[in-house]
Amino acid sequence: MPKFIYIIFGLMTCFWSAFAQEWKAPEEEKENVSIRLFDNEIETEGGVLFMNSCKSCHGSPTQEDFSLMLPSPGDLASAKVQNQTDGELFYKIRAGKGAMPKFGDALDQNEIWSLIAYVRSFNESYKQPEPNLEGVVIPNITLNLSFDDNVDKLVVKTLDENGNPMPDVTVKAFVKGHFGNYLLGKSRCNELGIAYFDIDSKMPGDEEGNMDIIVKASKGFGSAKVTQKMRVVDAVSFKSAIEGRHLWSVSKRAPYWLIVTFLSSLIGIWGTIIYVIVGLPKIKKQS
């Protein structure tokens, strides 16, 4: 057999595997829906995750700037994606396939739904299906924050409505800053319902070392958020920059050596000029 037949066969198998295998979600997952409303908040959360985890391959939705690979990741605002149900998208993001990573381990349910909320925000004809909340238990999370200054760690305790520890809660801690919130970290509570976050004692707090700490927690569809002012860093004393005698101080507070140098150069320069002026008639006379 001529060689080119093998080549044609090879190419055909490649194209077959690349295009013909339509990626389908299992039937039982197709009707899954989010029980959190796709509002601005969840869309924004999803947008941040998308920038960090998806944009490198899928590009910005509607911009058709996805990476070139086979099978193509495609634009997630395209009709091909938007015609699928929320449950199908949820399954594909959770399970992955080939080059599409499996995000089920790295992201919790809430985060995957937030990605779908973000991707749906590019489809003006999308209408979020109403969830059937019967039989769904939404965990009621209470958060308790403290600071362990022996190890410089923020300690977050998650409790259920009876005050018992709630394990396996995803917790994120932030520090409120002047230019938005700084993420301290993301963690999952241990079996005692506790998560720890390192705090750098050199971060800038106020005069007493207080910072506004924001903690967000989620488990299943339950979520909780607290903001608390806490003493977590070294106290800083704000000294005025012109207090004391510095080079950049006002004239009243300039260092003594500077005043002496300045005045003596002033006297020196003017003295020379006056000496020359006084001596001019003498030079004229001599010439």
Shortest Cβ distance from residue 36 to ligand HEC (Å)? 16
Nearer to ligand HEC, 82 or 228 (CB): 82
The closest of 153, 139, 225, 156 to 194, measured between CA atoms, is: 156
| Cβ-contact 113, 37 below 8 angstroms | no
Nearer to ligand HEC, 48 or 57 (CB): 57
The one-letter amino acid at 253: R
Shortest Cβ distance from residue 220 to ligand HEC (Å)? 20
Shortest Cβ distance from residue 212 to ligand HEC (Å)? 30
The span from the CA of 143 to the CA of 166, in Å, is 10
Nearer to ligand HEC, 17 or 190 (CB): 17
| Cβ-contact 108, 45 below 8 angstroms | no
Binding residues vs ligand HEC (CB under 6 A):
23, 53-54, 56-58, 69, 71, 73-74, 76, 80-81, 89, 92-93, 97-101, 103, 115
For residue 71, cis peptide bond before it (omega within 30 degrees of 0): yes
Question: How many CA within 13 A on the CB side of residue 74?
Answer: 12
Shortest Cβ distance from residue 28 to ligand HEC (Å)? 18
Nearer to ligand HEC, 56 or 227 (CB): 56
Nearer to ligand HEC, 21 or 140 (CB): 21
Owner of token pair 């499996």: 102
